[in-house]
Structure 1
Amino acid sequence: MKMQIETVDDVALLQQDLNCLLSWAKDNNMKMNGDKFEVMRYGPLLDIKEHTKYQAHQQNITPKEYVRDLGVTMSADGTFSHHIHLITTTGRKLTGWILRTFQTRERSCMLTLWKALVLPRLEYCCQLWSPHKTGDIMRLETLQRTFNSRIAGLQQLNYWERLNELKLYSLQRR
């Protein structure tokens, strides 16, 4: 079974499949919201990417640069840098909220807050988007480095010593 769009005929076949799906849905009393259809185009075939359109309910499906699915943002360039940017922004907001809301900087409290509120967001589905670019890795590590430097009694230690003391792994390793 062919899974790539390489020619204009492949585009027509995909549109035909989409029309069959919409027809099946109508026959089974299902309503699909055409405004929620998204298309993302990968690959080097610029002619096909730029000059083809897909339709649902007689309206064009707008090509997207980023598509979010199950909490992970995928990019048309095939990287997850945008996703990493989004989760580190969220992580920065959460850590700022934690530091403003809780006066204590006691180790057990700060570690509990980190593990309960921030770390799950940074690690969600990381097997899929596992960073390999140095900038993406640094963005993640900087967030953890900044947060654990605020924990009482650890300010004089470097990042790796703090991780060892807290029994945490670097985000890259995790």
Structure 2
Amino acid sequence: MDLDRLERWAYANRKKFSEAKCKVLHIDWGNPKHKYKLGGEWIESSPEGKDLGVLVDKKLNMTCQHVLVAQKASRLLGCIKSSVTSRSREVILPVRSALVRPHLEYCIQLCGPQYKTDMELLEQVQRRPRR
């Protein structure tokens, strides 16, 4: 009923939803996994979803988010290493703090590492050699 109401609202306001971009994330083990329609098209189910830049799976586990953050931070560290000629601590630390730290701290209050392996993964990126 909510999707029908949303579709009527969109029609009344001359808006259009892209059904191809809509996904259903079934949360919980006992979920009956109903199928939903939007605009006459069936919405496909997805094993994970992304909202406000945070990736979660159907068990509300955010390990996938931590892996993506660690990969992005590691790529940034590689770019810093290849583009900054000075290897002095006075130069590298502020650059790393300004460019890498925001990625590691983004949404940490929401998706803080739940598991020890996730925490070690993020700490490993922070301890990466500065040479």
TM-score (norm 1): 0.71
Task: State the one-letter code of the partner of 1:123.
Answer: E
Gaps of 5+ in 1: 1-15, 152-174
Q: What is the 5 A alignment of 1:87-102?
A: 87-102=69-84
Per-residue CA deviations over 1:120-161 (Å, capped at 9, x if unaligned) read 011111100010201000000000111xx325xxxxxxxxxx
Structure showing greater radius of gyration is 1
Q: What is the 5 A alignment of 1:46-65?
A: 48-49=32-33, 52-65=34-47
Higher share in helix: 1
Q: What does residue 165 of structure 1 align with?
A: none
Fraction of identical pairs, as percent? 31
Deviation at 1:33, TM superposition (A): 1.4
Q: Which has the higher contact order (CA 8 A, sep 6+)?
A: 2
> Could you say what secondary structure the match of 2:110 adopts?
helix
Q: What does residue 13 of structure 2 align with?
A: 28
Q: What is the 5 A alignment of 1:1-150?
A: 16-45=1-30, 48-49=32-33, 52-146=34-128, 149-150=129-130
1: CA distance, partners of 2:130 / 2:109: 29
Task: State the one-letter code of the partner of 1:135.
Answer: T
Across the aligned residues of Structure 1 and Structure 2, the Cα RMSD in angstroms comes to 1.3
TM-score (norm 2): 0.93
> Could you say what secondary structure the match of 1:41 adopts?
coil
Deviation at 1:36, TM superposition (A): 1.6
Per-residue CA deviations over 1:46-79 (Å, capped at 9, x if unaligned) read 5x12xx2111111111111121111111111211
Task: State the one-letter code of the partner of 2:72.
Answer: T
Deviation at 1:21, TM superposition (A): 0.8
Deviation at 1:32, TM superposition (A): 1.5
Higher share in strand: 2
2: CA distance, partners of 1:117 / 1:33: 34
Deviation at 1:103, TM superposition (A): 2.2
Q: What does residue 166 of structure 1 align with?
A: none
1: CA distance, partners of 2:50 / 2:21: 12
2: CA distance, partners of 1:66 / 1:105: 40
1: CA distance, partners of 2:130 / 2:2: 55
Task: State the one-letter code of the partner of 2:116.
Answer: T
